[in-house]
Amino acid sequence: MELGNKARAEKLHKAAVAVLEHNNGENDLSVAAALDARGELLLKAHRLSDAEACYTRALRIKQVAVGDSHPAVAAALYNLANVLDHVRSPLASPCPTHAPMPLLFSVFHSSSSNFSHCFRSTRRKP
């Protein structure tokens, strides 16, 4: 067996989801678990839109199967938030300090706006 073969791992994850869907139904919790595992693999491979699709579908399955207040749903929300944090456009950030460094540099050097609201005061009060 070849270790570190991400392409083969992706094919195996996809096959596992298909087998579980066929045997247990498309909305079974085992399918959600397989989608979570596949989403993690895709996130590590920087295939963010594919990871988002897996995590979104896993979340929907869990919400229907166990209800919105179940810990499995909380874990699914965390997974989806994690990938969305990677997907988020730096231009959508309300504060340039949350953007990647190249954008931050260009914003401060091309704008006369006051961004002081983005920084917390580090001064101690007497």
Which CATH number is 41's domain given?
1.25.40.10
SS3 readout for the chain: CCCCCHHHHHHHHHHHHHHHHHHHCCCCHHHHHHHHHHHHHHHHCCCHHHHHHHHHHHHHHHHHHHCCCCHHHHHHHHHHHHHHHHHCCHHHCCCHHHCCHHHHHHHHHHCCCCCHHHCCCCCCCC
Please check whether residue 56 lies inside any domain of the structure.
yes
pTM of the model as a whole: 0.67
Does residue 16 share a domain with residue 73? yes
pLDDT in tens, 1-34: 566 888 899 999 999 999 999 999 999 999 999 9
pLDDT in tens, 61-78: 999 999 999 999 999 999
Does residue 81 share a domain with residue 25? yes
Which residue segment(s) compose the domain that 63 sits in? 6-87
